[in-house]
Amino acid sequence: MDATGWGSGYATDHAYTTKFYLEQGPDHLNTACVLSGFEPLPLDRPFTYLELGCGQGVTVTLLAAANPHGRFYGNDFMPAHVAAAEQLITAARLDNLTMLENSFEELARGQVDLPRFDFITLHGVYTWVSRENRRHIVDIIARYLKPGGIVYVTYNALPGWAPAQPLQRLLLSQSALHAGDSGRRVLRARDFVEDLIGAQAQYFARNPGLGTALENLRGGDPAYLVHEHLHSGWEPVYHADVAGDLQAAKLDHVGSATLSTSSQTFPEAQQRLLDSVRDPAWRETVKDFLLNTSFRKDVFVRGRRPMPAHRQAEWLRPQRLALIVPRKQASFGFEWGATPGDDGDSPAAVLDALAARPHRLDELAQRPLFGGSFELVTGVAKLMTDARVATWVGPARDGVDPAPALRLNRAVAAQSRYTGDALGLVSPLTGNGIRASRLECLVYGELAERPQVLDPQAIAARVASCLHDPQPGATPDLAALAGEVAHVVAHSLPMWRGLSMI
């Protein structure tokens, strides 16, 4: 519920979580379009980008720093969110990002002077706001998206969310009975859910599909639970209905930002049923019934253009695959059934090569492990990207000015000294964010300031007070912390260097 009266049913007394979502990156969205067989947007020239409902602006800020030739706008109607974003923007001296503290209605009516956009994205917004605000979102897209422009929208989907719909209503209504801010109220509502389960309420006993929803409820912090559940407009939807809504903005669905979806296969009987469905939006919805989909990451285009197969191949071959986790954490995302041949090539050897530098897809295809199969390499690259182990790097990334990204990384590191939130770092090579813990951000800051000082004990001594609240008479365990710092230096630092981050 809205605790302050101006949120139109959206809870506004807790800030949204500080996470970035790499699927919103322009390069990633282009890759999703190409893999689905449709033309991307050119990124070797200036472009415009708008994120609607951007929360504290983490994603749009990282993207703006990594893409200085783009003009970015972030919109959120919560003043605290906008203030937090602008503080980081100022610290990093980003001149290509503008924050807008406006409602969707104000933007839809054209009350703000904005350019037309190549990209419009929204994550965690569409099924969390009222139906009226969904109409405003469609009007914004219709007003501001360029022909050929790309839209990315995520939403809670049916039928997968169906078993848990009553759970959300239970949390919303039960929390409204209590006083205090929404964080305390949602925790009291969660306790009530546990009491119902303990009392053997039949709703929980007869709905085994609630497992994931209950895990998320039990493991979620108050800020996440408030923004996931405590909105009166919360409503999961079918893909066909979202596609129908967006037709008013002349949008066509082209695929999913989950890249492996573009080559998804089904058992023969299921495929026959899908082939019998001619309407594209309903066919996609039938897929959701086959998979019991509960969350979608959809990519739409205003005027989609099919990409000829030979042009698709020309676009894909020079793409590079870059690891975005330390080598120790990297994998293909599945068990490789074949054993290495006489040449000794293996998944581990390929990952070692990727840890040394990004490789072109056609270069990887020539390795004995892949036997010249470009299709196999592409499939592996999709899975590694979906697992957030690697990302695609196009030729347009060459020559991008790294200075804004490096300034932002230093600003994030400085901010990490005073907050427990880990925003992530940014790579000018990939054009996107890189996951980083708070400790990694702190170590990054130390290394950026003193690149020649790699002594883990010295670094641990300087960051210890940031990680542990000093207690009277307590002494930080510097030896243990130095071990953690040494791990970051040994494993994360080589990755940061390979991704032009430091």
Q: pLDDT tens for residues 248-293?
A: 999 999 999 999 999 999 999 999 999 999 999 999 999 999 999 9
Same domain, 85 and 124: yes
Do residues 135 and 279 both lie within one domain?
yes
Same domain, 155 and 169: no
| Same domain for 383 and 412 | no
- Half-sphere exposure at residue 318, Cβ-oriented, CA atoms within 13 angstroms: 8
- Quick one: pLDDT at residue 336? 84
pLDDT at 269: 97
350, part of any domain: yes
Q: Which two tokens stand for residue 248?
A: 């008013």
Which domain range does residue 184 map to? Answer: 162-229
In this prediction, residue 421 carries a pLDDT of 76
pLDDT for 1 beyond 50: no
Residue 247 lies inside a defined structural domain of this protein: yes
Summarize pLDDT for 322-371 with one digit per residue, the tens: 999 999 999 998 888 765 554 678 999 999 999 999 999 999 999 999 99
| Contact predicate 101/129, CB 8 Å | no
Query: What per-residue confidence (pLDDT) applies to 6?
Result: 45
Contact present, 119 and 47 (Cβ < 8 Å):
yes
Q: pLDDT-derived band of residue 452, with 50, 70 and 90 as boundaries? A: confident
| pLDDT at residue number 387 | 95
**Is 57 found in the same domain as 145?**
yes
User: Within a 13 Å sphere around the CA of 151, how many CA atoms are in the beta-carbon half?
Assistant: 28
What pLDDT is stored for residue 73 in this prediction?
98
Residues 405 and 434: beta-carbon distance below 8 Å: no
Residues 63, 151 within the same domain? yes
124 inside domain = yes
Question: Residue 309 in 3-state DSSP?
Answer: helix
Instruction: Report helix, strand or coil for 292.
Output: coil
- Kindly state whether residues 330 and 464 are assigned to the same domain: no
Domain tally, the chain: 4
Tell me the pLDDT of the chain averaged across its residues.
Answer: 92
Q: What is the CA radius of gyration of the chain?
A: 24
Q: Residue 419 — pLDDT band, cuts 50, 70, 90?
A: confident
pLDDT at 13 over 70: no
| Last residue in a domain, options 335, 363, 393 | 393
| pLDDT score for 7 | 53
Residue ending a domain, among 393, 416, 437, is 393
Neighbouring C-beta atoms of residue 155, cutoff 10 Å: 25
193 has a pLDDT exceeding 50: yes
Final residue in a domain of this structure, among 393, 412, 432 = 393
What local confidence, expressed as pLDDT, does residue 10 receive?
53
- Are the C-beta atoms of 197 and 211 separated by less than 8 Å? no
306 occurs within a structural domain: no
**Strand ranges for 104-208 from DSSP E:** 117-122, 145-156
Task: Let me know whether 219 and 143 are in one domain.
Answer: no
Contacts for 179 with CB less than 8 Å, ≥ 6 apart: 185
- The tens digit of pLDDT for each residue in 63-114 reads 999 999 999 999 999 899 999 999 999 999 999 999 999 999 999 999 999 9
Nearest to residue 59, comparing CAs of 392, 434, 323? 434
DSSP bridge partners of 323: 390
- Residue 69: inside a domain: yes
Percent of the chain with pLDDT over 70: 93
- Shared domain check, 169 and 154: no
* Distance, CA of 180 to chain centre: 31
Cα 344 to chain centroid distance, Å, stands at: 36
* Residue 171 C-beta-side C-alpha neighbours within 13 Å: 26
Q: pLDDT band at 472, cuts 50/70/90?
A: low
60 & 118 share domain: yes
Q: What is the mean pLDDT of residues 219-228?
A: 88
Pair (142, 266) in one structural domain: yes
Query: Does the structure show a pLDDT above 70 at 8?
Result: no
In a domain, 11, yes or no: no
Q: What is the pLDDT of residue 474?
A: 60
Amino acid present at 243: A
CATH number at residue 272: 3.40.50.150
Distance in angstroms between the alpha carbons of the first and the last residue of the chain: 44
Report yes or no on 9 lying in a domain.
Answer: no
Q: Is residue 5 situated within a structural domain?
A: no
Task: For residues 111 and 119, give the distance between their C-alpha atoms in angstroms, rounded to a whole number.
Answer: 20
User: Cβ distance 70 to 150 under 8 Å?
Assistant: no
**Are 77 and 141 in the same domain?**
yes
